[in-house]
Amino acid sequence: MADHITSKLNPDTHLILDQPLLRLPFELLRKNFKVAHFNVEKESTAVKATLKETATTALTNNASPDDVLKSVDSMLARMRGLKRKLNACSEEESRLHQQSQSRIKHLGELYSMQSLDDVKYEEWSRTRLDRLLVDYLLRNGYKESAQALAKEKGIEDLVDVETFVQMSRIRESLQNGEVKEALAWCAENKKDLRRMESNLEFMLRFQQYIELVRTQDQSKLLESIAHAKKYLLPFRDSYPKEVQQACGLLAFPPGTRAEAYSELYSQNRWSALSTLFMQTHNSLLSLPSVPLLHIALSAGLSALKTPSCHSSHKTVSTSISPTSSSSLTTSVCPICSTELNDLARNVPYAHHTKSHVESDLVLLPNGCVYGLQRLEEYSRKAGLDTGLVKDLRNGEVFEVERVKKVYIS
């Protein structure tokens, strides 16, 4: 019965980790709709204004037929441009719908599986692992490797290569000291960033101001003042400290000893800006701030971790030969393995709603507790004489008379 409960598949718990799989296409569809709506409103307003003006001038005989034809041609050109933009939005919408359908089908396969031992679940888990690896590669800038892996495994619709490629391109431009692409991204998402109360655009404008002042060229200094009036001063109530620093920066050229202003000239600010952009990008699209692989690995390590995995006996047991019988007692624990032990050191212990202990617990003189039957069986296999028991961890041998019975209250 216990094995059945352990191996039973609960699809809802799997969906907790896979929420971004459906949430990101939804966010991109919403953004695509806003772009289409904005273009329709913008172009239709312009065409209506031109049409009204053309009709008025034609009725009052203030315009020649050639002028009227030019106005009509301009309206037709606008509508053709709008058609091209809407076609692009339609193609993007179709692509996102295809992605969503593939992802819903992928997640829906879980509900046709009854057990973790199902062969289909093993195949599904491998696909999920591939997705997590692609996500990790994309977040760390390995675009070509991620695309190659997604293509090889046939999971292009289950990963978000385009989104992360765009993010990586803007992040790299910031690390190289360029803000143009990041500002263009802010302009595309201006309303959402304002709703989030994000300071990304302000910090980008602030960095532009710093770079203008850094040159110490007279014309650039005048340009920096105009830049500050246009982009920084309107936010003096929201970011008073930064605006005050911007005003004082003109009196402190690069190389100043004033710490408050020398930090503004530091090249490390570009790394901070790239990090701020990634955080804002992920928040806007409802993406986790860390790779999904890290989340899955942390959850798995925590589920298997017990206090004995990092106990004081660890150093003693690891000194025993791997071929000895005592090393076999911990070889089945993944957390006690050399590869995972350090990774699991800082994750919390597993949360168990039920505890299972042996009914014949005894305490050895060295403080370790085991079941008496298991101790005697292990000692017998180890070839010890009757009346002696052997510690399962470090191999110490004790007389049975020194063993104490343990009672759990």
Give how far Cα 4 sits from Cα of 1, 76, 115, 125, Å: 5, 69, 8, 20
> What are the boundaries of each domain within the chain?
11-163, 191-285, 361-405
Tens digit of pLDDT per residue, the chain (409 long)? 444 445 788 888 888 888 888 899 999 999 999 999 999 999 999 999 988 888 888 787 777 888 888 888 999 999 999 999 999 999 999 999 999 999 999 999 988 888 888 889 999 999 999 999 999 999 988 999 999 999 999 999 999 999 999 999 999 999 999 999 999 999 989 989 999 999 999 999 999 999 999 999 999 999 999 999 999 999 999 999 999 999 999 999 998 888 889 999 999 999 999 999 999 999 998 888 889 898 888 888 888 887 777 665 444 444 433 333 333 344 467 888 888 888 888 888 877 667 677 888 889 988 888 888 888 888 888 888 888 888 887 888 888 888 898 887 6
Task: Of 143, 25, 10, 181, give the one whose Cα is nearest residue 93.
Answer: 25
**Would the pTM of this model clear 0.85, i.e. be above it?**
no
Evaluate the CA torsion angle 84, 90, 91, 96 in order and state its sign: positive
Q: Where are the beta strands (DSSP E) in 284-400?
A: 361-363, 369-371, 388-390, 397-399
> Which residue reads 């509508």 in tokens?
79
Phi then psi dihedrals of residue 61, to 5 deg: 60, 30
Contact criterion met (CB below 8 Å) for 341 and 309 = yes
Alpha carbons 250 and 258: distance in angstroms, whole number: 13
How many Cα atoms within 13 Å fall on the side-chain side of residue 182?
Answer: 29
SS3 content of the chain, % helix, strand, coil (to 5): 70, 5, 30
- Cα 18 from Cα 44, distance rounded (Å): 40
